[in-house]
């Protein structure tokens, strides 16, 4: 994929003997899904703001922690400080990324200038190539799962649907992810690999450039990506159009990212990849990040994870789940 960055070893971690829910004070809710929610919290002994993901005990939760242990090696991926479990629930202590989602920033900014697109696309590429070099595919890349930190740098987040051991010729199956970002091979139930992530990235780049999706689901037809070709507005440069066309190849074997060197594409001719990977390039000012200063304490997990809502709670112990990053040990 053209990455110059070598694989990095996981940061040493130990099992936390004393970390539990009582170590945190909970504030506002940051997001929720069917089986999990994310709360803003304060790690009281460290006086540190964190994002706490509270979920049911599922194989996806175990996968997410495995990926997060690897993600520590890239500045463009969301990091975890640790994880622990109670009888029924799993808890992941994540860095609090205050800038909000790329989706929210795009809605506010409208379609972006091409130098802004190039910068944020390049940071996403660095994060994604790091995952792929470690045998991990994300499978749910979309603007809602890409965050902006306080300095407006990219952080790819939410590894709950990720798949590891995707090395060599390994492939996987399953209609996993968000339909409008799914690659044709995923939609058709075929075997797929990391090329599916590059398709999703192409959809995101198209949205950044135009504020719309490249494929229109007429009459609720979610398979339009299989039949339609994107329309490229006249204001897009030929370099950007060529990049989008290369990422949105319906044949996964011809798609840029898994074939060719995306870093050498003409659209990125002005990107200094070494400086960018070291976060030495100043982000553009077009994307504004939110500022959250005042927080209201909440009742933490109790309201969401009442016994009525957790009829299928899993009390099994998750092996190799609990850990504490070496930098967080008391």
Residues with a catalytic annotation lie at 140
Give CA angle at 126 (124, 130), nearest 5°.
Answer: 115
Which DSSP state fits 302?
Answer: T
Number of alpha carbons in the 13 Å side-chain half-sphere of residue 285: 0
Query: What distance in Å separates the CA atoms of residue 77 and residue 156, rounded to the nearest whole number?
Result: 5
Q: Evaluate whether 258 touches 192 at the Cβ level (below 8 Å).
A: no
Query: What distance in Å separates the CA atoms of residue 290 and residue 97, rounded to the nearest whole number?
Result: 10
Comparing CA positions, the residue from 210, 204, 253 lying closest to residue 231 is: 210
H/E element, 103: helix 102-109
- Asked whether the CA dihedral 15, 21, 24, 29 is positive or negative, the reply is positive
Comparing CA positions, the residue from 23, 28, 25, 45 lying closest to residue 295 is: 28
H/E element, 246: helix 238-247
Query: What distance in Å separates the CA atoms of residue 273 and residue 123, rounded to the nearest whole number?
Result: 9
Q: Confirm whether residue 6 is marked as ligand binding.
A: no
Report the 10 Å Cβ neighbour count for 262: 24
Comparing CA positions, the residue from 259, 260, 284 lying closest to residue 271 is: 284
Query: What distance in Å separates the CA atoms of residue 118 and residue 108, rounded to the nearest whole number?
Result: 19
Comparing CA positions, the residue from 71, 72, 70, 78 lying closest to residue 148 is: 78
- In Å, how far are 20, 215, 232 from 212, measured between CA atoms? 43, 9, 11
Query: What distance in Å separates the CA atoms of residue 260 and residue 252, rounded to the nearest whole number?
Result: 13
Annotated binding site for ATP: 53
Annotated binding site: 53
């Amino acid at each position: 994929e053209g990455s110059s960055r070598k694989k990095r070893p996981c940061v040493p971690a130990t099992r936390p003997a004393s970390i539990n829910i009582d170590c945190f004070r909970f504030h506002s809710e940051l997001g929720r899904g069917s089986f999990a929610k994310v709360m803003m919290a304060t790690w009281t002994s460290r006086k540190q703001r964190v994002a706490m993901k509270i979920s049911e005990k599922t194989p996806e939760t175990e996968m997410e922690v495995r990926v997060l242990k690897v993600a520590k090696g890239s500045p463009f991926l969301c990091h975890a400080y640790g994880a622990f479990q109670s009888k029924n629930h799993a808890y992941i202590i994540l860095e609090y990324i205050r800038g909000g989602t790329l989706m929210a920033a795009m809605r506010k900014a409208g379609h972006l200038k091409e130098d802004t697109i190039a910068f944020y696309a390049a940071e996403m590429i660095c994060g994604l190539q790091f995952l792929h070099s470690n045998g991990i595919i994300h499978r749910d890349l979309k603007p809602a799962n890409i965050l902006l930190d306080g300095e407006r740098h990219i952080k790819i987040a939410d590894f709950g649907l990720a798949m590891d051991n995707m090395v060599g010729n390994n492939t996987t199956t399953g209609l996993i992810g968000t339909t409008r970002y799914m690659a044709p091979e995923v939609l058709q139930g075929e075997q797929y690999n990391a090329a599916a992530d590059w398709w999703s990235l192409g959809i995101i780049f198209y949205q950044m450039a135009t504020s719309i999706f490249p494929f229109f689901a007429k009459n609720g037809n979610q398979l339009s990506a299989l039949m339609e070709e994107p329309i490229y507005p006249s204001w897009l440069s030929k370099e950007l159009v060529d990049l989008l066309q290369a990422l949105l190849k319906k044949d996964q074997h011809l798609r840029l990212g898994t074939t060719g060197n995306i870093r050498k594409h003409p659209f990125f001719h002005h990107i200094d990849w070494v400086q960018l990977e070291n976060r030495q390039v100043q982000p553009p000012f077009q994307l504004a990040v939110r500022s959250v200063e005042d927080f209201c304490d909440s009742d933490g997990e109790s309201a969401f994870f009442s016994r009525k809502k957790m009829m299928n709670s899993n009390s099994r112990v998750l092996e190799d789940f609990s850990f504490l990053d070496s930098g967080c040990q008391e």
